[in-house]
Structure 1
Amino acid sequence: MQDVLPGAPYPPHRFHFISGLPRSGSTLLAALLRQNPRFHADMSSPVAGLVHSLLGEMSKRNEFSGVVDDHQRKRVLTRVVSAFYEDQTAEVIFDTNRSWCTDIALLQELLPGTKVIACVRDIVWILDSVERLVQRNVFQPSGLFGYRTDGSIYTRAETLTAHDGLVGSAYNALKQAYYGAHSVSLMLLQYETLARDPGRAMEAVYRFIGETPFMHDFDHAQYDACDFDARMGTPGLHDVRAKVEFSERSTIVPPDLIKRYADSAFWKIPSLNTRNVLVV
């Protein structure tokens, strides 16, 4: 069970985290979870960034670190997570950030019993999804690439999959969590499963987090982040269609890029799942 903090709202919040790869269904998952009146879920929040920044400020690089011990560090960081959602009336909070996969050990210290749901998808289809947005919004350079007006699908793929890129950093974080000592707290939810069989996907999520199942409406998913997407110069970035369904299509990713990332979906290879991570 997660610790209850003094002064925490009643009933106390329980926390779980959504992470994984971009363009892999995290917004759709949040849109479905928030149908449950007991749950709060949203797009990526600044909570992970706040935790990382404060952890750095309480490290030895700060001249005052000598007066900060690990108990105080834990208390401060736990309060940050809790305080950000203090006004939420929902009992269960799902915070979303792709970096949470690097922090499972930390999360278990701050909020014992918390779970991380990582949304995953083949890298080729992630690149395809991003490229379609770029080519659709020809008059709006995307913030995903620093609003640059040059480049091609090849330079964009290299930017995305670099070790510090949008996809590359999330992919490396995912592998760390998948092969790490705290993988029992990790569930991988494949985009194809969520889109093709949302009932089975959501049933697995509820079982994983130990919550009572809820009757979700897969014909009327709702999510609106139009203002955020417009500021990012990438309209449609967080669009969620009302009806949850899988759309068959041909990829616009060139064959050589397909070949380059063909073996990226390590979670589909049973022999690599040495820690028996739940993959749905």
Structure 2
Amino acid sequence: MHFISGLPRSGSTLLAGILRQNPRYHAGMTSPVGSIYTAMESAMSRRNETAVFITEEQRRAVLRGLFSNFYGDLHQTKLIFDTNRLWCTKLPALVQLFPEARFICCVRDIAWIMDSVERLIRRNAFELSGMFGFEAVGTVYTRVNRLAASDGLVGFALDALREAYYSEQASRLILVEYSALTQAPADTMRLLYEMLGEAPFEHDFETVEYDAEDFDTALGTRGLHTVRRRVEWVDRETVLPPGLFARFENDAFWRLPDANSRGVSIIRLAG
């Protein structure tokens, strides 16, 4: 069992699309397991008056059993990569439930994450997005502020990544920069396989396939989980106003020279 987490719009769906080419692996977009996991934690907490009868061993067994029961036979025959940005907040428990697990965290410049979300909103100009509660009013500034809030799509994920990055379990992390995955996919995957202790596999970066059209349409954000068949880097101008784009230019904390005190593995472009 391994986990994919990190920041939104940073390549996690693309990475899953690449990994699933390997017949030994199962990977996909954000799964329901994270929300079920937190619901079970709540049900076994002290807010439930009968929780006094639940031992720590039983809590561990119930939570671990969630994964094996959810994935069923796949859990017996394939290496599972479960995706959820929530996992960065659950390292103390997950490393006990799965002692061999690694946490692959996809990362990207925050300003370009905001740009990517805004592009999706504008591309779906006749739809209201569930990412913003299907609200019909707002500006690019209110949308970005909502995303950046501590409980927002980006703000929560960024705080969760920081928590994991500076935690006692940080050595379990593998950060994969979006620029490395899209500009040097073969080298990135080779390094990732080495870090996971897995046998090499020849991926086809010209025909990567993954989409979740029904999910994205229901969210009012078509294209949210669609990846290009060819893995490539696309240069472009930002759609954000200059001041708004510049607001996030120093938020890539993992690039700070003295930040990596826990020895986190980071896959980035050379140079």
**Matched residue, 1:156:** 143
Q: For residues 220-259 of structure 1, what are the structure 2 equivalents within 5 Å?
A: 220-259=207-246
Whether 1:31 and 2:31 are equivalent positions in the alignment is: no
Amino acid at match of 1:252: V
Alpha carbons 1:35, 1:216 under 8 Å: kept? yes
SS in 1 for 2:116: helix
Whether 1:111 and 2:98 are equivalent positions in the alignment is: yes
Q: For residues 75-224 of structure 1, what are the structure 2 equivalents within 5 Å?
A: 75-88=61-74, 90-224=77-211
Identity of aligned residues (%): 50
Question: How far 1:181 moved relative to its partner?
Answer: 0.3
SS in 1 for 2:106: strand
Question: How far 1:16 moved relative to its partner?
Answer: 0.2
**Per-residue CA distance 1:131-170 (angstroms, 9 max, x = gap):** 0111111101111111111111100001001000000000
Question: How far 1:270 moved relative to its partner?
Answer: 2.3
SS in 1 for 2:31: coil
Whether 1:278 and 2:265 are equivalent positions in the alignment is: yes
Alpha carbons 1:41, 1:94 under 8 Å: kept? yes
Question: How far 1:87 moved relative to its partner?
Answer: 3.2
Q: Aligned match of 1:50 in 23, 28, 36? A: 36
Rounded to whole Å, the distance in 1 between the matches of 2:214 and 2:188 is: 29
Amino acid at match of 1:158: N
SS in 1 for 2:249: coil
Amino acid at match of 2:66: V
Question: How far 1:173 moved relative to its partner?
Answer: 0.2
Question: How far 1:250 moved relative to its partner?
Answer: 0.9
**Matched residue, 1:67:** 53
SS in 2 for 1:64: helix
Q: Runs in 1 of length 4+ with deviation above 4 angstroms?
A: none
SS in 2 for 1:270: coil
Amino acid at match of 1:56: S
Rounded to whole Å, the distance in 1 between the matches of 2:176 and 2:57 is: 34
SS in 2 for 1:44: coil
Rounded to whole Å, the distance in 1 between the matches of 2:257 and 2:69 is: 40
Amino acid at match of 1:194: L
Alpha carbons 1:98, 1:170 under 8 Å: kept? yes
**Per-residue CA distance 1:90-133 (angstroms, 9 max, x = gap):** 42000000010011111111111111000001110001001011
Give TM-score, length-normalised by structure 1.
Answer: 0.93
Rounded to whole Å, the distance in 2 between the matches of 1:90 and 1:166 is: 33
Give TM-score, length-normalised by structure 2.
Answer: 0.96
Amino acid at match of 1:130: V
SS in 2 for 1:151: coil
Rounded to whole Å, the distance in 2 between the matches of 1:67 and 1:209 is: 38
How many residues align structurally?
A: 266
**Matched residue, 1:4:** none
Rounded to whole Å, the distance in 1 between the matches of 2:34 and 2:108 is: 22
Rounded to whole Å, the distance in 1 between the matches of 2:167 and 2:39 is: 23
Alpha carbons 1:142, 1:148 under 8 Å: kept? yes
Amino acid at match of 1:38: R
Rounded to whole Å, the distance in 1 between the matches of 2:257 and 2:201 is: 30
Alpha carbons 2:111, 2:246 under 8 Å: kept? no
Alpha carbons 1:37, 1:90 under 8 Å: kept? no
Rounded to whole Å, the distance in 1 between the matches of 2:195 and 2:232 is: 23
Alpha carbons 1:198, 1:244 under 8 Å: kept? yes
The more displaced of 30-39 and 80-89 is 80-89
Alpha carbons 1:44, 1:96 under 8 Å: kept? yes
Rounded to whole Å, the distance in 1 between the matches of 2:224 and 2:246 is: 26
